[in-house]
Amino acid sequence: MIRSVVRGSGSALPKRCVSNEELAQTVDTSDEWIVERSGIRQRYVAGEGETTSSLAIDAAKAACADAGVDPTTIDLIVLATATPDNTFPATATKVQDALGCNGGIAFDVAAVCSGFLYALATADSMLRTGMARRALVIGAETFSRILDWEDRTTCVLFGDGAGAVLLEAQDSDEAGPGVITSRLHADGAQHDLLYVDGGPSTTQTVGHVRMKGREVFRHAVVNLAEVLGEVLEESGLSIDDVDWVVPHQANARILDATARKLGIPAERVVVTVDRHANTSAASVPLALDVARKDGRIKSGDLVMLEAMGGGFTWGASLIRM
Ligand code: ACO
């Protein structure tokens, strides 16, 4: 069978790191409140010249270098973002030009915090059906540019960054490497719980993130536990077979509650929310790259990815590394 095999990963962060203490100098909050409610200790914030595309390009180049793949041989780029450089063209086309692989397929996916899962499932389908052979799946965000920095209920929770995974269509088998299965969901009825109050077709402004945190929290734990059960059932595997869970890094309490609900030991969950905060579509590939590079995730490991975000959208994937 043809499977989409992970050949490499890469990530990029803005230069400037902002601690909770620094944030508390301009916003009515405290390190204690942020750590207790979210587990976040710091976040990276893009400065002048740093954009969603510049972070995505750095992450993409790092993934190609990690895989030992010439970037000009990439024939598919799927980039998940809610903070594109421009309304159009797709930020993916800027990455394509920077890598010098012009002529292949390149487009953006908008599913907010679940964007990377949507992008991964899309690229996987295209690789398995032969539309492309080598894909970069990227999550990249500059959420700092759509935050209301006077709204302490949202601005303390998010950060900027990018992560990329290089997938290649390869012959594999049941027990071999590659994306095993993905499940995606959306529920448009929950729009008002997490959204941006602007856009080209409504206000002609960029808008700011608005969120009813408590309700999002409640939905996140239920939806994530359900979709993780679905991918396990579909693949005939059990939670004991999973070596690592790489969740969307929204909030340490969501990670703990979901792990408890599924009976996953905390030491098998990759956590980076303390240092990156919530980087939306970038959070899963950023965390995956951290755990691959520090040697936790190894070749042959069964890895489960999951995310939920605005829409609502949510999804999960199982990958044999
Ligand atoms: N600093 C200090 N106090 C604050 C802050 C802050 N940054 N923000 C809110 N407060 C205050 C509130 O005003 C409120 O005060 P009051 O009781 O006097 O009215 C009090 O803290 C409690 O506020 P709650 O919103 O009830 O706090 P809660 O315990 O629910 O924590 C949080 C808020 C962290 C947002 C939580 O609900 C949460 O994690 N929700 C999930 C949302 C999330 O992670 N979204 C990310 C995007 S979606 C996704 O990725 C899944």
pLDDT tens digits, 148-183: 999 999 999 999 999 999 999 999 999 999 999 999
User: Which amino acid residue places its CA nearest to atom 36 of ligand 1?
Assistant: 213
State the average pLDDT over residues 123-132.
98
Structural domain for 297, as ranges:
178-320
* pLDDT at 252 (0 to 100): 95
Q: Are residues 10 and 127 in the same domain?
A: yes
Nearest to 56 by CA among 124, 122, 119, 130: 119
Last residue of a domain, one of 115, 140, 171: 171
Q: Are residues 212 and 66 in the same domain?
A: no
* pLDDT at 57 (0 to 100): 99
Task: Quick: pLDDT tens for 48-75.
Answer: 999 999 999 999 999 999 999 999 999 9
User: Which amino acid residue places its CA nearest to atom 12 of ligand 1?
Assistant: 153
252 close to 39: Cβ distance less than 8 angstroms: yes
Sign of CA dihedral 256, 261, 267, 269: negative
Q: Is 191 a catalytic residue?
A: no
Q: Are residues 225 and 85 in the same domain?
A: no
* pLDDT at 317 (0 to 100): 98
* pLDDT at 258 (0 to 100): 87
Q: Are residues 152 and 256 in the same domain?
A: no
71 close to 60: Cβ distance less than 8 angstroms: yes
Sign of CA dihedral 249, 194, 118, 174: positive
State the average pLDDT over residues 82-95.
98
pLDDT band of 126, cuts 50, 70, 90: very high
* pLDDT at 311 (0 to 100): 96
Residues within a 6 A CB radius of ligand 1:
29, 33, 37-38, 113, 152-153, 156-157, 194, 211, 213-214, 216-217, 220, 248, 250-251, 253-254, 278, 308-309
Q: Are residues 182 and 257 in the same domain?
A: yes
For the chain, the domain total comes to: 2
288 close to 165: Cβ distance less than 8 angstroms: yes
- For residue 156, give the ligand 1 atom closest to its CA: 7
Q: What distance in Å separates the CA atoms of residue 123 and residue 144, rounded to the nearest whole number?
A: 27
State the average pLDDT over residues 229-236.
96
pLDDT band of 120, cuts 50, 70, 90: very high
Question: Residue 162 belongs to what H/E stretch?
Answer: strand 160-171
Question: Residue 202 belongs to what H/E stretch?
Answer: none
Q: Are residues 296 and 312 in the same domain?
A: yes
Q: Are residues 11 and 151 in the same domain?
A: yes
pLDDT band of 117, cuts 50, 70, 90: very high
Q: Which residue is listed with tokens 């040697």?
A: 295
Last residue of a domain, one of 171, 186, 217: 171
List the helix and strand counts (H, then E) for the chain.
10, 13
Lowest mean pLDDT among 2-16, 76-90, 151-165, 210-224: 210-224
Q: Are residues 97 and 222 in the same domain?
A: no
Q: Which amino acid is at 65?
A: A
Last residue of a domain, one of 152, 171, 190: 171
| Mean pLDDT taken over the chain | 97
Cα 189 versus chain centre, distance: 23
For 200-221, letters b (16+ CB in 10 Å) and e give eeeeeeebbbbbebeebeebbb
State the average pLDDT over residues 223-245.
95
Q: What distance in Å separates the CA atoms of residue 188 and residue 140, rounded to the nearest whole number?
A: 23
Identified catalytic residue from 113, 155, 208, 251: 113
Which residues, other chains included, contact 15 with Cβ-Cβ below 8 Å and sequence gap of 6+?
Answer: 44, 47, 50
Q: Is 278 a catalytic residue?
A: yes
- Beta pairing, strands 134-142 & 76-80: parallel
List, in sequence order, every residue forming a beta bridge with 5; answer none if it has no partner: 168
* pLDDT at 262 (0 to 100): 85
Domain of residue 16, CATH code: 3.40.47.10
Q: What distance in Å separates the CA atoms of residue 171 and residue 104, rounded to the nearest whole number?
A: 22
Q: Is 64 a catalytic residue?
A: no
Q: Are residues 282 and 159 in the same domain?
A: no
Nearest to 5 by CA among 321, 231, 242, 244: 321
- For residue 220, give the ligand 1 atom closest to its CA: 51
Q: What distance in Å separates the CA atoms of residue 28 and residue 92, rounded to the nearest whole number?
A: 37
- For residue 38, give the ligand 1 atom closest to its CA: 34
Q: Are residues 13 and 150 in the same domain?
A: yes
Q: Are residues 132 and 36 in the same domain?
A: yes
Q: Are residues 138 and 253 in the same domain?
A: no
Q: How far is CA 286 from CA 25, 121, 183, 206, in A?
A: 28, 17, 21, 25
State the average pLDDT over residues 267-292.
98
Q: How far is the CA of 218 from the centre of ligand 1 (A)?
A: 12
Q: How far is the CA of 187 from the centre of ligand 1 (A)?
A: 23
